[in-house]
Structure 1
Amino acid sequence: MSKVIESAILFQVENNTFLLDIPYSIALAQGETAPCKQSAPPTAESSSRTQTNKSQRKQLLSCPPAKEPFPSTEPKKPSARAKVLESSPISERRFHSELILPLVKDSLETIRAGVEHDRWCLTRAVPCEEVHEYRVPDHTPSRKRRKGNDSTSLQPGPDGHVIKLDEPPMILSSAAPNIFESLSELKVAKNPSSEAAIIQIGTSHETMSEYLVPPGSSFILCELPIFNGPDYHAAHENPIPGLSQRFNLILMDPPWPNRSVRRSGHYTTNHYSEMNMLTVGMRKILQTHSYRREDITQELVESQSGAQIQSQQSIAAIWITNAEKSRKAAYHAMSSAGFDVCEEWVWVKTTLSGQPISALDGLWRKPYEILVIGKQRPDFGISASSSRQTDDLTVVSEAVATRRVIAAVPDLHSRKPNLKSIFERVFFSSESSRESYTALEVFARNLTAGWWACGNEALKFNARECWVNDTTGNWFPE
């Protein structure tokens, strides 16, 4: 006998502590409707429960959940441990030991006491042969375009691909596959339908690959020019080529410097010498694309009479590593763009049975990552150029009003939990209704229904080969 699960949130205490399933959170975020446009209050992931006759719910291919914590890499000798501690700033040690560690311990105990089973994730779809990474097919860039676009002005992007800068997004059809010779034909695209669209790349069955585009989603497939230096930014107004829209929510997962990840070659990261450029780039994205209250026009207010209310929130969210430099960069990027850090969400990585994947007080490796969240200051329009002091990280950290914990069993490398449903619960809903909002994910590795996504890997986990039909539904054995 099995119990069908209709939400990726497997357990929660109010809106502060969550147990989340990562692959299922991504799968439900591909839903048949765009949840950010619904008027019903968020209960679970209601938008993804109803399936159309045209399509069947898909399950995202994953890796087996870890059953045991990772082998320890901590220094064993007291002298070696002391040496590592000496190299870590006192403010950073206090941040983790006094603010994060007690919260994580309490939250894990709360989840253990509340869950009705000993599995902390849903049943996963795993290939017959164990794999640790899926490679999205590489397609040679091409300047060929669909007929009818001859008037389009094209400019080469920083990766050498063609980026369409002066035309609306390519509108995808959900009624039939959208066929292109190469992904380079498809830099900016939108699926306005309430059903998923299919992109086919290539003309022969041997080389053809497919991507699933969720309803209401849009994407810009390009190498972001954040690291092109000050000369590039001085000559280009928009930090994201081809995008002029502003958003209520901007979520970023930047390529922070990480020696072990760089050695593994999983994806491109940036050296500490480029940290300043990354900070400036994030700030410019927030300044250019964050929603401002003056964006609400009288015409829009009148058009919403009796309809769903458009959110006036302006939220920034940046994933950081456990290095002090990345936290400082995120704080500074937000502050200089007119945001105050208001929340931090801690993703705690656990084994199948709920143990942290490494020691909570580890020096080399910590079993959690943090999402820094900021709200735009009310006076931003008046003093947009001013930024609050962020050099003293202790002051900023202690001023954070709310911290939430999200426990989740890790999935494939670079996969973060999809937090759309939690963002909607916390920032875009009330007891009686849900606000309409716009969202952009920067450095995205998959698409989300109703959201924009940009980056050179925005379609990575939307490749058809990453999905299988979910014939039984997700379940816990009873």
Structure 2
Amino acid sequence: MPPETPSTSILYQNEGQTITLIDIPTSIAVAQELNDEDITLLSSAPQEVPYTSNEPKSSKAKERVRSNTVDAELHDTYVRLIREALAEIRAHHTSPWYLPRTLAPERARLPKKRKASTFDSGKETGAGRDDRTEQDFSQDYEAHDGTATTLPFDLFENLVYYGDEGMSTTQPARSSYQFCSTPWDALIPRNPPFAPWTSLYHNPLSVSARLLVMPPHHSSALDTPSPPPYTFRLPPHSAFLLSDCNTPFPSPSYTPSTAPQFDLILLDPPWPNRSARRRSAYALSPSLADLRHLLLSTHIEQTLAPAGLVGVWITNRAAVRELVLGPAGLFEHWGLVLAEEWVWVKVTAYGEPVTDVDSVTRRVVAAVPVLHSLKPSVRELVAPLMPHPTDYEALEVFARYLVAGWWSWGNEALKFNWEGAWGRSAVRGRSGG
């Protein structure tokens, strides 16, 4: 019997649900509702030992680090919470801190000057945070259906451009991308009924759908074959808007049905990060002021249900926390009050923090990191907080993959639904933590 996707990604959780150990690739697969399909997101090998500490030596350097993180009292609170949480997980969870992984193939690095950022010329800075090169992202797998086996680094930039064109005019350019969709298990017709690409799409089916995206065919030669399409898996009842997040969420005229009021809105903003910029790893917003303008321009408060929840991933920088929670911050602008704070701790394969908690920086979520700097999908964790655990509306902003039943908005919203980003699962199904 082939392995199948586990029914839960939670490896350990205490009774109060304040401490959780989660497997990141499985959390994303479960959020796709893959059920008994034996595929998983391709990952990096688990970190075996903590990273080498780069503690500042001089008192001046130490003071600069302290001033750039949360205040001392909150820092001490974080350290205590993390240590107590990891100790509790070790006391109750004796298995590995991650599930078996299917590793992405090693790739030769391109010269630094050839590193490709999908969003160098895009408006929305930072939705993509992939530190691989254009060659690295082209996964090898055998396509039996005639679809493309590589993904160009500028595909999403082009789709955003042509999608915006298609939404603003009745006659998109003839060189535009085209698309069609079929149920995932259905055979692809010999001549699929392609239509002009649109950046907004909804899978109304209760099963996964296959989205075929056909690139423009510029050759006029009759004997030149059309390029193969790119294949993306759309989870059941998922919707995406592949667009820059610098305008308000589209009006109902652009939606597959009347735009819902969301019970949950989750944001993972591209916070400025000097070390990531030095590595050319992330496409980031130039400054906090720019990002504040970008976030306020989304006007998410207009689509939030009266009792809805908003979750925002933040870094440990004091300025970032102040921008979200401080006077005249995002929460105040959106009419929100802080209800809970969750701390995500990156750990090694053996449960040690990848960095010393004393040098970093109330529910604690521990997870072994994977490729792409992806955070765990929190769908399993937020379900108990919703009006109904399986019947609610959710929107993820700056999304990089789709979630079953959710809306996803961002200029890379389809990135990790590409078929080539997934491989055969190395773990058999499990039903509990």
TM-score clears 0.5: yes
| Aligned position for 2:40 | 59
Note if contact 2:208-2:233 (Cα within 8 Å) is conserved in structure 1: yes
1:361 matches 2:358: yes
Structure 1: which 5+ residue stretches go unaligned? 33-47, 144-156, 227-237, 293-312, 367-402
| Aligned position for 1:320 | 314
| Aligned position for 2:167 | 164
Q: Which residue identity lines up with residue 93 of structure 1 in the other structure?
A: A
| Aligned position for 2:304 | 290
SS in 1 for 2:269: coil
Of 319, 343, 365 in structure 2, the residue corresponding to residue 406 of structure 1 is: 365
* CA shift in 2, pair 1:206/1:348, >3 Å: same
**What TM-score do the two structures reach when normalised by structure 1?**
0.67
CA shift, 1:105, in A, is 1.0
| Aligned position for 1:120 | 97
How far, CA to CA, are the matches of 1:249 and 1:63 in structure 2? Answer: 30
Q: Which residue identity lines up with residue 393 of structure 2 in the other structure?
A: T
Note if contact 1:8-1:20 (Cα within 8 Å) is conserved in structure 2: yes
How far, CA to CA, are the matches of 2:246 and 2:418 in structure 1? Answer: 24
Q: Which residue identity lines up with residue 345 of structure 1 in the other structure?
A: W
| Aligned position for 2:10 | 9
How many residues matched?
357
CA shift, 1:11, in A, is 0.5
Q: CA-atom RMSD, angstroms?
A: 3.1
CA deviation string 1:415-435 (max 9, x = no partner): 010010110023345xxxx45
| Aligned position for 2:324 | 330
Identity %: 32
| Aligned position for 2:207 | 195
Of 281, 290, 303 in structure 2, the residue corresponding to residue 274 of structure 1 is: 290
Note if contact 2:9-2:22 (Cα within 8 Å) is conserved in structure 1: yes
CA deviation string 1:176-228 (max 9, x = no partner): 5596879x8130001111111111223768643211111110100112225xx
| Aligned position for 1:253 | 268
SS in 1 for 2:48: coil
| Aligned position for 1:219 | 240
How far, CA to CA, are the matches of 1:120 and 1:260 in structure 2? Answer: 27
The within-5 A match list for 1:115-194 is 115-117=93-95, 119-129=96-106, 133=132, 135=137, 136-137=151-152, 138-139=154-155, 161-164=164-167, 172-174=181-183, 175=186, 177=188, 185-194=197-206
* CA shift in 2, pair 1:158/1:187, >3 Å: closer
Q: 122-131 or 214-223, which moves further after superposition?
A: 122-131
SS in 2 for 1:215: coil
CA deviation string 1:146-190 (max 9, x = no partner): xxxxxxxxxxx78984252699xx9943145596879x8130001
| Aligned position for 2:410 | 455
Note if contact 1:250-1:440 (Cα within 8 Å) is conserved in structure 2: yes
CA shift, 1:95, in A, is 1.6
How far, CA to CA, are the matches of 2:226 and 2:101 in structure 1? Answer: 29
* CA shift in 2, pair 1:411/1:141, >3 Å: closer
How far, CA to CA, are the matches of 2:106 and 2:330 in structure 1? Answer: 42
Note if contact 2:11-2:23 (Cα within 8 Å) is conserved in structure 1: yes
* CA shift in 2, pair 1:166/1:420, >3 Å: farther
Structure 2: which 5+ residue stretches go unaligned? 109-130, 138-150, 171-178, 216-224
Note if contact 2:260-2:393 (Cα within 8 Å) is conserved in structure 1: no
* CA shift in 2, pair 1:12/1:259, >3 Å: same
1:70 matches 2:51: yes
SS in 2 for 1:342: coil
SS in 1 for 2:305: coil
| Aligned position for 1:350 | 347
| Aligned position for 1:385 | none
How far, CA to CA, are the matches of 1:206 and 1:165 in structure 2? Answer: 26
**What TM-score do the two structures reach when normalised by structure 2?**
0.74
Q: Which residue identity lines up with residue 304 of structure 2 in the other structure?
A: S
CA shift, 1:288, in A, is 1.5
